[in-house]
Structures are given as C-alpha cells and as structure tokens.
Amino acid sequence: MLGNFTYHNPTKLYFGKGALQNLKEELPRYGKNVLLVYGGGSIRKNGIYDEVTAILHACGKNVAEDAGVMPNPTTEKLYEGTMLARRHSADLILAVGGGSVCDYAKALSVSVHCTEDPWKKYYLDGEEPTCEIVPVGCVLTMVGTGSEMNGGAVLTNPAQKLKIGHVFGSEVMPRFSILDPTYTYTVPKRQMVAGIYDAFNHIMEQYFSGTDDNVSDELSEALMKSLVKNSYAALADPTDYEARSNIMWAATWALNTLIAAGKTTDWEVHMLGQAVGAYTDATHGMTLSAVSLAYYRYILPYGVKKFRRFAVEVWHAADEGTDEEVAEAGLRAMEKWMRDLGLSMDLGSLGVKEEMLEGIADATLVMDGGYKVLGRGDILAILKSSL
C-alpha cells in the first residue's frame, strides 16, 4: 500500500553532450564570488577544469578553489573548506566531480554560516540547518550516488571511525546540475562499476522495504533492468554514449527521492557499507557489493515474496518452485552479474580483518524501514558471512 507523502525536488537538470554551456545561463543568478570545489585533479587532466573556469571567468566571477576533496570526505576537510568559503564570502559553491565532491559541497553549504560544530549538529545530533545556506551547483563527472539531485551528504570522521550520511531537505539540494555523459568516459573501470552498483543498490534499498506493491516498485524494476543491460554495454565499450547516458540518467532517478515516495525504505546495506568504509576508506560502491549478498540472504525469509518478484521481474528467473527457490535463483543471477562487473564480493578484499568486525558492528547504524530490524548479533553474523 502506498503511504501518504509530499514530493518536492527543486533541482534543475541540464543533460546531454555540451550541457556545460548551460552554466552561462545559471551563473548570473548568483553573486560574484564562486567557490570551485573538486577532487584529486582528474578534471585538470581531462580538460573539464579548463572548460569550467573559462566559463566562470567569462561571466566575471571571482573564483576561489577548494581542491583535494577525497573519495570519502572527512570532517577535517569540511572544517578547512568552511574557513576558505568564509574568507571568500562565497555566493555559490560549484562542485565539479563525482558524488563525493557533490556530497561535500552540500555539507559545506550548511556549514559556512553555522555557528556550531557541523559534525555534531548535523551528523551526530541529526539536526537541520537553521543558518543561511550557500547555494550549490554541480557539474557531474562520475555517476552512482545520485547526489546531483538529492539532499544527501555523507561525511567521515576518521578519529571517531564513523561514516554518517545526513539527508537534508530540499533547500540544500543543488539548485542546478549539469550532466554530460561524455564526461564519464575517462572514469577508470573500477570506479565505473562501483558507481553502477551504488546506483543499483540505492534502488534495492527502496524496493526491499516494509511497504510493497505500488507504482514505485514498478519504476524500480525498470530502472534495475536498465542498469544491468547498460552496464554490460559500457563494459564492452566505455565510450558507448547510449549506454553511458542511460546509466547516468538511471543513477539520478535511483536516488532523487521519487521512488522512495510512500515507502519506508531500508538502507541497512548502506549502513553496513559505510561502517566498513569508516574503518578501511574503501570505495563506497565496493563496500556495498561486499556485504549485499550476505545481507539479502539473511533477510530473505522475512520478505520472501518480494524476493521472488525481484527474481522474476528483474532477473527473468523461471516462476516455478517454492518462494525460497525462486528467490534464491534471483540472488544467484544478481551474484553472477556482480562478478561479471568485477565488484568486490567479500570484505577481505577490502582489507577487513576478523578482529575489526566488532568495531564495524558498533559503527553500524540500525535502520527500521526494512523487513527485519537487525540486532548486534545479526550484524556480526552478516559481517562474518561477508568476510
């Protein structure tokens, strides 16, 4: 049954080849001072940096740069960026990069004018911003997180060994995002497949929830099938524009709040993966793939009819046999696809040792929107099975 909901997503998207030219239309809406946020320097090598800065300067913007955003943005980096944005009196934060850069930009947007510790206020205490929010725009160069069209911002505190996401409201969502699929051509294969699985798992987190059988589930099934089909095409030819554009578009719809409408949603795989990431600094999509099958096999008995539907509708499993038999056939088909992509299939491949499991279990947040609310013993059993 579909629950009551309010849906609002204010992000304006510019999609397709040459979409960056639309930045010229957006920039006049904001003040003179732009903080340009990006990662380790790949945008300098592939020419995107030159394209973006040429437009910024042509539009008369005063630009400061906040470079070096890491794949798992840290509290230390946030504090550093906050001071830079304050000194620059930033009117717009322009994120150029993948999901981590977009996440960081949103965390920064609610921290610049915050008089409290943003880590404590937003991430530990779960509060909402009460200060002025600096607007964010995104130029996406890697797909997976959906951060270009949602209010999520994940941050890691290495000292506390915590990796926590805060989903802010629509006022923190990017004002605009620019999506040119050709910008994803040069992403290394490992990062490409990690992003594809991140997007796929976003859909699963919303599909396998305590509220089932509504239009959101039918949309989810179509998105999952599209990602599987186009992932094989992108593996065969990373410059296949149709495949890369379909993946980029599906990843955006996977987490722009649409398919979550009216559902409780699960997110326990993400909580497990983020706890692993806090201990290992491993690639986010790979932490998800490493724990997914163990988690889904663990909760399958509590949502077996939905797992049967998943097997038949997404993986085209034969609709014959018991619920358990058909459901397991679906998970086997998913496992084959994951191995074909070259994803990490166990925690050991990410550097996790058995002696780390207790700490990872302690760092795993427990969600209540899925088929089973996990206890600490359940979490440890899943982690051990993933090892």
Mean pLDDT across the chain: 96
**What is the predicted pLDDT for the residue at 4?**
84
Same domain, 227 and 370: yes
Of 183, 202, 231, which marks where a domain is finished?
183
Q: Which long-range contacts (CB under 8 A, 24 or more apart) does 190-194 make?
A: 190/283, 190/286, 190/342, 191/98, 191/142, 191/283, 192/142, 192/234, 192/238, 193/231, 193/235, 193/285, 193/341, 193/342, 193/343, 194/144, 194/283, 194/284, 194/285, 194/286, 194/289, 194/343
With a cut of 70, say whether residue 212 has pLDDT above it. no
Is residue 4 included in any domain, yes or no? no
Least confident of 1-10, 309-318, 370-379: 1-10
Average pLDDT score over residue span 191-220 = 92
Same domain, 97 and 211: no
Handedness of CA 334, 349, 280, 109 (dihedral sign): negative
278 token code pair: 């806090």
Query: Is 350 inside a domain boundary?
Result: yes
pLDDT for res 304: 96
Q: Over the Cα atoms of the chain, what is R_g?
A: 20
The percent of residues in the chain predicted with pLDDT above 90, rounded, is 95
Instruction: Quick: pLDDT tens for 137-167.
Output: 999 999 999 999 999 999 999 999 999 999 9
CATH number of the domain at 193, please.
1.20.1090.10
Domain ranges, residue 80: 12-183
H helix or E strand, kind and range, residue 231: helix 215-236
Q: Which residues contact 135 (CB under 8 A, 6 or more apart)?
A: 30, 91, 92, 93, 109, 175
Average pLDDT over residues 191-217: 91
User: Of 139, 161, 183, which one is at a domain's C-terminal end?
Assistant: 183
Q: 182-186 — which CB contacts under 8 Å span 24+ positions? A: 182/17, 182/241, 182/244, 183/46, 183/48, 183/139, 183/140, 183/141, 184/141, 184/142, 184/143, 184/244, 184/247, 184/248, 185/238, 185/239, 185/244, 186/42, 186/46
Co-location of 148 and 253 in the same domain: no
Question: 20: which 2 tokens?
Answer: 């960056």
pLDDT in the model for residue 234: 98
Do residue 176 and residue 71 come from a single domain? yes
Q: Are residues 87 and 230 in the same domain?
A: no
Per-residue DSSP letter, 316: -
Mean pLDDT of 51-62: 98
> What is the per-residue pLDDT across 288-300, written as a single tens digit (0 to 9) for each?
999 999 999 999 9
Is the full-model pTM beyond 0.75? yes
pLDDT at 187 over 80: yes
What confidence score (pLDDT) does residue 1 get? Answer: 63
**In this structure, are 256 and 179 located in the same domain?**
no
Q: Is the pLDDT of residue 29 over 80?
A: yes
pLDDT in tens, 98-129: 999 999 999 999 999 999 999 999 999 999 99
Residues 177 and 256: their CA atoms lie apart, in Å, by 12
Least confident of 4-8, 81-85, 195-199, 234-238: 4-8
Q: What is the pLDDT of residues 266-296, one digit of tens each?
A: 999 999 999 999 999 999 999 999 999 999 9
Across 335-341, average pLDDT: 98
**Residue 377 and residue 343 share a domain:** yes
169 in the same domain as 25: yes
Write the CB contacts of 49 (distance below 8 Å, at least 6 apart in sequence). Answer: 38, 43, 96
